Amino acid sequence: MPSVSKAQIQAQDDAVYQAIIGEEKRQKEGLELIASENYVSPAILEALGSVFTNKYSEGYPGKRYYGGQTFTDQVEALAIERAKKIFGADHVNVQPLSGAPANVAAYFAVLEPGDTVLGMDLSHGGHLTHGHPVTYIAKLYNFIRYKTTAEGLIDYEEIERMAREHKPKLILVGYSAYSREIDYERIKKIADEVGALTMADIAHIAGLIAAGEMNNPVPIFDLVTTTTHKTLRGPRGGMIMCKAHLAKAVDKSVFPGFQGGPHENNIAAKAIAFGEVMTDDYKKYAQQIRKNAKVMEEELRNLGFKLMFGGTDNHLLLIDVTSKGATGKEAEWALDEAGITVNKNMIPDDPRSPMDPSGIRIGTPAMTTRGMKEDEMRQVSKWINEAILGKDDPTTLERIKNEVKEMCERFPVPGIE
CA pair distance 225, 174, nearest whole angstrom = 9
* H-helix or E-strand spanning residue 17: helix 14-29
Q: Which residues are catalytic?
A: 56, 58, 201, 227, 230, 236
Q: How would you classify the pairing of strands 170-173 and 63-64?
A: unpaired
SS3 assignment, position 238: strand
Q: Which amino acid is residue 286, in one-letter code?
A: A
CA pair distance 284, 272, nearest whole angstrom = 18
23 by Cβ neighbours in 10 Å (0-12 / 13-18 / 19+) ranks as exposed
DSSP codes joined into one string, 343-382: EEE--TT-SSBTTB-SEEEEESHHHHHTT--HHHHHHHHH
CA pair distance 239, 124, nearest whole angstrom = 24
Q: How would you classify the pairing of strands 340-341 and 116-120?
A: unpaired
